[in-house]
Amino acid sequence: DAGVTQSPTHLIKTRGQHVTLRCSPISGHKSVSWYQQVLGQGPQFIFQYYEKEERGRGNFPDRFSARQFPNYSSELNVNALLLGDSALYLCASSSPGRNSPLHFGNGTRLTVT
């Protein structure tokens, strides 16, 4: 079975632009989460979606938004990009149930210039 897939793998944007990152979960997984990892730090929680509804949101500005589609894939959108948004964006999925491990994709490396 395929793991969590993310696209694109790399992206370069300029300040003020908008970006859309995409994620396909492992087949059968209904929960998708997004994390941001800046250089030298551990990943930080941005969003969790389950059954197309936002279930949780981390401490990120409203420029960050996401959605989940009927096939459980997800998009992360970031508006008005800042230099500080440069990071590795990781998507993770988990199977239904409270205590299920998260499985991460390979990430999208975003550079804002």
Partner 1 sequence: GIQVEQSPPDLILQEGANSTLRCNFSDSVNNLQWFHQNPWGQLINLFYIPSGTKQNGRLSATTVATERYSLLYISSSQTTDSGVYFCAVAVTQGGSEKLVFGKGMKLTVNP
Q: Which residues contact 113 (CB under 8 A, 6 or more apart)?
A: 12, 13, 14, 15, 83
| Residues in 83-112 that interact with partner 1 by CB under 8 A | 88, 90, 92, 98-99, 101-104, 106-107, 109
Kindly state the smallest distance separating residue 20's Cβ from partner 1, in Å: 20
Element (H, E) at 21: strand 19-24
- Using CB under 8 A, pick the residue from 29, 32, 35, 36 that binds partner 1: 35
Q: Could you tell me which of 63, 60, 84 has the C-alpha nearest to residue 19?
A: 63
User: At 84, phi and psi to the nearest 5?
Assistant: -70, -10
Number of residues that bind partner 1 (CB under 8 A): 25
3-state secondary structure at position 111: strand
Kindly state the smallest distance separating residue 50's Cβ from partner 1, in Å: 8
Give the Cα separation of 26 and 66 in Å (integer): 18
Kindly state the smallest distance separating residue 103's Cβ from partner 1, in Å: 6
84 vs 97, beta carbon nearer partner 1: 97
Q: Which residues bind partner 1 (CB under 8 A)?
A: 33, 35, 37, 41-45, 48, 50, 55-56, 58, 88, 90, 92, 98-99, 101-104, 106-107, 109
